[in-house]
């Protein structure tokens, strides 16, 4: 035991004085206070500790004579080092029959008592400060937090718990927890009951509670056991958070990406919806093919949000947006110093998508060297960051997409056949809008509804001649182009129906064009002809041509290379 703990355990010096004024007993605290050892003073006269204060001996003499007990006496004693120390003391006579045989002299160092008082005050302040900090943390948490004792009585209730439940602290504390939360699981095998019974923590349990006003609140909660200093169970603690907004967003996303809500009434789309339902029940790799603007990312998100990975992340990456040097780092991440500019470690898309889905858009534009690494990752289900040597297990579902003909690229030596078969386990082709014109009316209705809300208008639809124009237009930008055309028309239209004068000039120019497209021919012939005609109309200006066709400049350039148009 250290000196400080000795002070706390044995604060009082005790000296037993015989009736001949000799020292009979001299305890450890007396040794500490005076500096004398017991052997130094035992059987020695009391004067040894009253050497410089002999007047105080009169008090001891008086105690022997009066046979009384004296308390709160201020006595000066002489220490071994010669210094005089003031002590607060008491004198108690010890009798044998009617005779006093000894006096018990109990004393405390007043300076030591003051130091102990100051130390106790400081410790008390520290405890209070710590208590205030813990209380501040307890009440500043965004999570509702409460504790119960072994009788299920709520013993603490923080501010967030008040906010979520509507009950004040004094209304909750002292009540049984089920009286406050009123969940259908209360007293029916709830997570807190399991924690109290098994002693095991329960994490991430979702349930519904009923707040003070009767509103149902969905919450996500954690519970664990409370132990005292002796490791004995004294109750449990639970944290919970209101997940109403998360639930609403989740339901909104699921509603938005429900397969039945993807616009399409044609037979082609009915077959695709059936495929969507099937692949969502598996973890197989999917390849989505189709032209730009056919909704490949929308389809990928719908598959993800209807799969068992719905609670994991959906991470998209457009492979054509990065050059060969950057795409590898974007996919797999890199370590600090892996290359010039790699000033710190970076997690790649594979790492970010762990537990969810990685959407590789425009996979046909990945270089052969990166294709080899991607193939290895898919085969081994392991990947390494650029510049690293640690293999990281991959828990990712891959959905790839392309608007290119990958089999044609394989023939040209631009895409690996083995990678193609790895990603083409399930192929879903999204047809262009011109091949499913039965979907044009519901698509138009859908976008009109969306833009009425966005622009605060009440447009009822499009006129018959606009519909006829739309039916003949090739829609090279597909659904995305249709959306852009209708938004343009909404801005201009001040009537109840969108008419010809509200339609973008590029659509009208197509109508006036003397270029005749025979759609019975293979589509690539028609596509070639319309690109040539539009380029000639714009004197070879690719930007204006892309705008007229409703596609990106990069998409136009890719198609020009495909058809060897210079």
Q: Which two tokens stand for residue 480?
A: 């995305």
Same domain, 451 and 385: no
Residue 490's domain is classified under what CATH number? 1.10.8.60
Lowest mean pLDDT among 57-66, 453-462, 487-496: 57-66
| Percent of the chain residues topping a pLDDT of 70 | 87
Which region holds residue 187: left if phi is over 0, alpha if psi is between -120 and 50, else beta? left
Same domain, 218 and 291: no
Residue 140 has pLDDT above 80, yes or no: no
Residue 375 has pLDDT above 50, yes or no: yes
pLDDT of residue 248: 55
Instruction: Domain of residue 221: give its range.
Output: 141-242
Is the distance from CB of 388 to CB of 247 less than 8 angstroms?
A: no
Instruction: Pick the more confident residue, 410 or 86.
Output: 410
Strand 286-289 versus strand 426-429 pairing type:
parallel
pLDDT of residue 137: 58
Same domain, 419 and 363: yes
The residue-averaged pLDDT of 216-230 equals 86
SS3 for 2-36 is: CHHHHHHHCCCEEEEEECCCEEEEECHHHHHHHCC
Among residues 385, 408, 429, the one where a domain terminates is: 429
Q: Considering its fold, how many domains does the chain have in total?
A: 4
Report if residue 133 sits inside a domain. no
Residue 341 has pLDDT above 50, yes or no: yes
Residue 106 has pLDDT above 90, yes or no: yes
Report if residue 124 sits inside a domain. no
Among residues 242, 268, 284, the one where a domain terminates is: 242
Over the stretch 352-369, which tens digit does the pLDDT of each residue have?
Answer: 999 999 999 999 999 999
Same domain, 358 and 374: yes
Over the stretch 251-298, which tens digit does the pLDDT of each residue have?
Answer: 544 545 454 446 666 677 778 878 888 888 889 999 999 988 888 888
Residue 217 has pLDDT above 70, yes or no: yes
Distance between CA 529 and CA 519 in Å, rounded? 11
pLDDT of residue 260: 47
Distance between CA 445 and CA 462 in Å, rounded? 9
Distance between CA 350 and CA 356 in Å, rounded? 10
Residue 453 has pLDDT above 80, yes or no: yes
Residue 414's domain is classified under what CATH number? 3.40.50.300
Instruction: Pick the more confident residue, 559 or 327.
Output: 327
Report which DSSP code applies to 410.
Answer: H
Same domain, 451 and 520: yes
Helix (H, G, I), strand (E, B) or coil at 411: helix
Residue 62's domain is classified under what CATH number? 3.30.450.20
Report if residue 282 sits inside a domain. yes
Most confident range, picked from 199-203, 210-214, 373-377:
373-377
pLDDT of residue 522: 42
pLDDT of residue 377: 93
Same domain, 302 and 414: yes
Residue 548 has pLDDT above 70, yes or no: yes
Residue 394 has pLDDT above 50, yes or no: yes
Report if residue 127 sits inside a domain. no
Report if residue 552 sits inside a domain. yes
Lowest mean pLDDT among 156-170, 248-262, 447-461: 248-262
Lowest mean pLDDT among 1-15, 205-219, 500-514: 1-15
| Percent of the chain residues topping a pLDDT of 90 | 31
Report the mean per-residue pLDDT for the chain.
83
Residue 510 has pLDDT above 80, yes or no: no
Lowest mean pLDDT among 32-41, 88-97, 112-121, 442-451: 112-121
pLDDT of residue 214: 84
Distance between CA 30 and CA 87 in Å, rounded? 11
The residue-averaged pLDDT of 23-28 equals 92
Among residues 209, 242, 275, the one where a domain terminates is: 242
Most confident range, picked from 427-441, 505-519, 542-556:
427-441
Same domain, 418 and 484: no
Residue 524 has pLDDT above 70, yes or no: no
pLDDT of residue 98: 83
For 494, other C-beta atoms within 10 Å of its C-beta total 8
User: What phi and psi, each to the nearest 5 degrees, are found at residue 353?
Assistant: -90, 5
Same domain, 403 and 445: no
Same domain, 21 and 109: yes
Report if residue 66 sits inside a domain. yes
Report which DSSP code applies to 153.
Answer: B
pLDDT of residue 186: 84
Residue 345 has pLDDT above 50, yes or no: yes
Same domain, 273 and 369: yes
pLDDT of residue 108: 86
Report if residue 284 sits inside a domain. yes
pLDDT band at 189 (very low <50, low <70, confident <90, very high): confident
Report which DSSP code applies to 540.
Answer: T
The residue-averaged pLDDT of 384-402 equals 91
pLDDT of residue 415: 94
Residue 36 has pLDDT above 70, yes or no: yes
Same domain, 269 and 356: yes
The residue-averaged pLDDT of 26-47 equals 91
Same domain, 255 and 369: yes
Report if residue 95 sits inside a domain. yes
């Amino acid at each position: 035991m250290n000196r400080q703990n000795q002070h706390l355990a044995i604060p009082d010096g005790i000296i037993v004085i015989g009736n001949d004024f000799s020292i009979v007993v001299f305890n450890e605290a007396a040794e500490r206070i005076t500096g004398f050892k017991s052997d130094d003073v035992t059987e020695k006269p009391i004067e040894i500790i009253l050497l410089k204060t002999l007047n105080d001996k009169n008090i001891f003499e008086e105690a022997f004579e009066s046979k009384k007990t004296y308390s709160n006496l201020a006595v000066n004693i002489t220490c071994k080092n010669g210094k005089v120390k003031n002590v607060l003391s008491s004198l108690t006579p010890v009798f044998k029959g009617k005779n006093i045989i000894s006096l018990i002299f109990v004393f405390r160092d007043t300076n030591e008592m003051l130091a102990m008082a100051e130390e106790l005050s400081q410790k008390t302040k520290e405890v209070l400060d710590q208590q205030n900090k813990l209380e501040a943390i307890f009440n500043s948490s965004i999570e509702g937090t409460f504790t119960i004792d072994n009788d299920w009585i709520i013993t603490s209730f923080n501010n967030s718990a008040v906010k979520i439940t509507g009950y004040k602290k004094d209304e909750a504390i002292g009540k049984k927890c089920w009286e406050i939360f009123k969940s259908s699981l209360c007293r029916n095998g709830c997570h807190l009951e399991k924690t109290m019974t098994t002693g095991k923590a329960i994490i991430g349990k979702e349930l519904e509670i009923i707040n003070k006003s009767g509103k149902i609140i969905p919450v996500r909660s954690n519970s664990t056991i409370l132990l005292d200093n002796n490791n004995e169970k004294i109750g449990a603690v639970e944290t919970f958070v209101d997940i109403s907004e998360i639930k609403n967003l989740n339901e909104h996303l699921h509603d938005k990406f429900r397969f039945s809500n993807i616009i399409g009434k044609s037979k082609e789309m009915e077959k695709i919806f059936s495929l969507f339902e099937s692949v969502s029940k598996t973890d197989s790799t999917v390849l989505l093919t189709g032209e730009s603007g056919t909704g490949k990312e929308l389809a990928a998100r719908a598959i993800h949000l209807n799969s068992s990975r719905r609670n994991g992340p959906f991470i998209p990456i457009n492979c054509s947006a990065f050059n060969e040097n950057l795409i590898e780092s974007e996919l797999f991440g890199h370590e600090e110093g892996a290359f010039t500019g790699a000033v710190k470690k970076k997690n790649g898309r594979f790492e970010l998508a762990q537990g969810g889905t990685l959407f590789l858009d425009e996979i046909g534009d990945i270089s052969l060297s990166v294709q080899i690494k991607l193939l290895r990752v898919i085969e081994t289900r392991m990947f390494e960051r650029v510049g690293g040597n640690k293999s990281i297990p991959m828990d990712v579902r891959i959905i790839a997409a392309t608007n290119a003909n990958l089999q044609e690229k394989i023939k040209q030596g631009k895409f690996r056949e083995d990678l193609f078969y790895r990603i083409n386990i399930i192929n879903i082709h999204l047809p262009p809008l011109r091949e499913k014109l039965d979907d044009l009316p519901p698509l138009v209705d859908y976008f009109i509804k969306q833009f009425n809300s966005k622009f605060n208008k009440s447009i009822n639809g499009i006129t018959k001649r606009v519909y006829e124009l739309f039916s003949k237009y090739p829609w090279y930008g597909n659904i995305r182009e249709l959306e852009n055309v209708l938004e343009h028309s909404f801005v201009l239209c001040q009537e109840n129906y969108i008419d010809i004068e509200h339609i973008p000039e590029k659509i009208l120019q197509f109508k006036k064009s003397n270029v005749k497209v025979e759609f019975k021919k293979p589509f690539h012939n028609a596509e070639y002809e319309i690109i040539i005609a539009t380029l000639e109309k714009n004197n070879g200006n690719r930007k204006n041509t892309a705008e007229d066709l409703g596609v990106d400049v990069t998409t136009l350039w890719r198609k020009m290379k495909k058809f060897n148009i210079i």
